[in-house]
Amino acid sequence: MSHYDGEIFQTLLQRDGLGSNIVVDILTAAYGSVWIATEGGATRYRPVTSPPKVRITDVVTDEHHGSVQALSIPSTLLAIHFEARSFKTHPANMQFVYRLRGHDETWHSTREHFVEYDGLDFGQYTFELRAIDRDLTYSTEAATVSIDVHPPYDQWALVGLVIVALAFAGVSGVYARRRRRDDLAAEILPSPVNWRRRCRRRARCRCASCRKNTRTCPAMTCAVSVCRRRRWGAIAFSTFRCARDHWGCVSPMRRVTPCRLQFPSSSFLAPCRPKSIIRARS
Q: For 198-221, write each residue's pLDDT tens digit.
A: 444 444 444 444 444 444 444 444
Tens digit of each residue's pLDDT (9 = 90 or more) over 107-125? 999 999 999 998 888 889 9
Question: Do 72 and 160 share a domain, yes or no?
Answer: no
Tens digit of each residue's pLDDT (9 = 90 or more) over 134-145? 888 899 889 999
Residue 120's CB is within 10 A of a number of other CB atoms, namely 17
> HSE of 241 in the Cβ direction (CA atoms, 13 Å)?
12
277, part of any domain: no
Give the pLDDT confidence score for residue 8 in this predicted structure. Answer: 80
Q: Domain of residue 160: give its range.
A: 153-188
Give the pLDDT confidence score for residue 155 in this predicted structure. Answer: 67
257: pLDDT strictly greater than 90 = no
Question: Do 195 and 229 share a domain, yes or no?
Answer: yes
278, part of any domain: no
275, part of any domain: no
146: pLDDT strictly greater than 80 = yes
Question: Do 176 and 252 share a domain, yes or no?
Answer: no
Question: Do 14 and 98 share a domain, yes or no?
Answer: no
pTM for this prediction: 0.52
214, part of any domain: yes
192: pLDDT strictly greater than 80 = no
User: Averaging pLDDT over each range in 8-17, 97-106, 268-277, which range is the top one?
Assistant: 97-106
Is 65 in contact with 100 (CB distance < 8 Å)?
A: no
Question: Do 217 and 251 share a domain, yes or no?
Answer: yes
pLDDT band at residue 48 using 50, 70 and 90 as cut-offs = confident
Residue 278's CB is within 10 A of a number of other CB atoms, namely 19
264: pLDDT strictly greater than 50 = no
Question: Do 139 and 64 share a domain, yes or no?
Answer: yes
Question: Do 58 and 123 share a domain, yes or no?
Answer: yes
165, part of any domain: yes
Give the pLDDT confidence score for residue 19 in this predicted structure. Answer: 80
Question: Do 72 and 38 share a domain, yes or no?
Answer: no
* CATH code: domain of residue 64: 2.60.40.10
pLDDT band at residue 11 using 50, 70 and 90 as cut-offs = confident
Alpha helices by DSSP H, listed for the chain, are 153-188, 192-202
Give the pLDDT confidence score for residue 25 in this predicted structure. Answer: 82
Domain boundary among 166, 188, 210: 188
**Domains of the chain: total:** 4
Question: Do 26 and 41 share a domain, yes or no?
Answer: yes
Give the pLDDT confidence score for residue 188 in this predicted structure. Answer: 56
| Nearest alpha carbon to residue 56 among 47, 44, 43, 65 | 65
- Give the β-pairing of 143-149 and 104-110: unpaired
Domain boundary among 131, 151, 171: 151
**Rounded distance, CA 157 to CA 164, Å?**
10
282, part of any domain: no
Tens digit of each residue's pLDDT (9 = 90 or more) over 220-251? 443 333 333 333 333 333 333 333 333 333 33
34: pLDDT strictly greater than 70 = yes
Average pLDDT over residues 20-35: 80
190: pLDDT strictly greater than 70 = no
Mean pLDDT of the chain: 69
Least confidently predicted of 30-44, 67-81, 259-273:
259-273
Average pLDDT over residues 163-191: 76
Question: Do 89 and 120 share a domain, yes or no?
Answer: yes
